[in-house]
Structure 1
């Protein structure tokens, strides 16, 4: 698997539209992002990894880093989180503003490295 399109195509058919939507939300956060597959997951990159996602049986894992999870902790009530990871249940709508703000936060962090 070499592209995000290929990744999405091998996921469960019912979750594919949500993964495509998530991809668009992330890409619309910044024109500076490039995309690739890294660690077997869709990865969005700007001067370093910005965010990854992966489809799981009951949720989408959003891998954004510990600093982002800490920074947005007040807005993550109701999500299961762990060190650098946010779980979005498959039945929950995607929070466009939250996701794009996390992406922009990580881009700025990479820009300032």
Structure 2
């Protein structure tokens, strides 16, 4: 039988070792600052941020990286920065062995909001 998915983002984060949890929490806060009106939930078993009822971003912790999902094709300038992190059409993987690019995650969140037509931040 499959494990029960977490009921909240706090519960999701609590399942990780302290060092990984700190990185995930900072990603959470980075997205919150960039999208303060976004609503936090668990969807597909991972933390999800939604704006006006539409999913904005998902993120998940893995053994060696953090993944951010549902990333559409961005502007050429932003894509140039994302190219080394793209692992699938709509997935970014950020290795835990390198400094986490929180500034890039902030700019990415804002760009996704703009791309999806939301004026709410």
* TM-score class normalised by the smaller sequence: 0.7 to 0.9
Any runs of at least 4 consecutive aligned residues in structure 1 with deviations exceeding 6 A, and if so which?
none
Taking structure 2 as the reference length, the TM-score comes to 0.81
1:80 Cα deviation (Å)? 4.2
Give the conservation status (yes or no) of the 8 Å contact 1:62–1:86: yes
Give the conservation status (yes or no) of the 8 Å contact 1:54–1:60: yes
Counterpart for residue 3 of structure 2: none
Taking structure 1 as the reference length, the TM-score comes to 0.86
Give the conservation status (yes or no) of the 8 Å contact 1:52–1:63: yes
Structure 1: 5+ residue stretches without partners: none
Counterpart for residue 111 of structure 1: 118
Residues matched between the structures, number: 112
Distance across 2 between alignment mates of 1:19 and 1:27: 12
Counterpart for residue 48 of structure 2: 43
Residue 96 of structure 1 pairs with residue 102 of structure 2: yes
Counterpart for residue 75 of structure 1: 81
Structure number with the higher helix fraction is 1
Residue 27 of structure 1 pairs with residue 32 of structure 2: yes
Q: Which of 25-34 and 101-110 deviates more?
A: 101-110
Structure 2: 5+ residue stretches without partners: 1-5
1:51 Cα deviation (Å)? 0.6
Greater Rg over alpha carbons, structure? 2
RMSD across aligned positions (CA): 2.1
